[in-house]
Amino acid sequence: MAFDRVGIRVVTVVRFLPPSGVVRPYELEGDAGLVPLDPRWHQAAWRVVKLGFFHILDGTDHLLFLFCLVIPFRRLWTLVPIVTAFTVAHSITLISAAYNYAPGALWFPPLIEVLIAMSIVYMALENIVAITPHRRWLITFLFGLVHGFGFSFGLRQVWLPLIGKPYTRIEFRTPAPYRYVRHPLYFGFLLAFWMTPTMTLAHLVFAIATTAYIVLAIQFEERDLISEYGSAYEEYRKRVPMLLPVRGDRLATAPQPAPSPIGSRSPHLLP
């Protein structure tokens, strides 16, 4: 029969409305068994851990990157700093996303997906052309930041309903790094891409492509930020530079002193 396998994979979407009035969405796959609709914090944390584990198994791009990363090495001890660097890096970006330091623009997820794909190509080319084990951990750390953002999309939207808190719009604020540049994360990415002791052809192409993409995409992000926050972000744009922490008005010509009144003598002029 042509339809004898229909219904083996079933996804049920449930929206639970507790007395608090905060709607909690649930997505149940197959026979989910007993599901706590009002979970405790440890139950919510365990749910997030399970989702993250299976997300990694489904994320063939992340697994392919790790495969390209470790394939040249034959000894276990050489993998310890590499795996540690990747773990620390994507943990940093996960925590940053949880505290709303990650950009929320619609173009940011496609940018991360492009960077993840380029990281796989870069590691594959480096394995073929020249293996540099002494700096493999540093490259892993930089790309781990990118892969961490890939893991973090939707983290806040998932976590808040699980612990019974409503999802609210993020208020406009400028913590420490945002007082010097409007996009400190992108500034850090550009530093990581360009500040290298050895600029190979693959690295140069990667740096140019990502720099052009970031500069172009910032224009669309700031357009969305202006529509979201209005005059507050307009004033912020006037005060803070976009990428480089150098104000253009510092390079302006110093103002000339006002002319002396008629009949008076400037003290610095000879008679």
Residue 202: Cβ within 10 Å count: 17
**Largest Cα–Cα distance of the chain, in whole Å?**
111
7-17 pLDDT tens trace: 556 778 787 78
Question: What's the predicted TM-score (pTM) here?
Answer: 0.46
- Rounded CA Rg of the chain: 26
d(CA 268, CA 271): 10
Alpha-carbon torsion (161, 166, 170, 176), positive or negative: negative
- What are the pLDDT digits (tens) for 129-185? 766 667 788 888 888 888 887 776 666 666 666 556 665 666 777 777 788 888 887
- CA–chain centroid gap for 258, Å, is 50
Per-residue model confidence as pLDDT tens digits over 42-89: 777 777 777 767 766 666 677 778 777 877 777 777 788 888 888 888
Cα–chain center distance at 95: 10
Alpha-carbon span 213 to 206, nearest angstrom = 11
Number of alpha helices (DSSP H) and beta strands (DSSP E) in the chain: 9, 2
Q: Is the pLDDT of residue 267 over 60?
A: no
Q: Please state the rounded mean pLDDT for residues 213-220.
A: 85
| For residues 103-122, average pLDDT | 74
Contacts of 200 (CB under 8 A, 6+ apart): 126, 129, 130
pLDDT at 70: 77
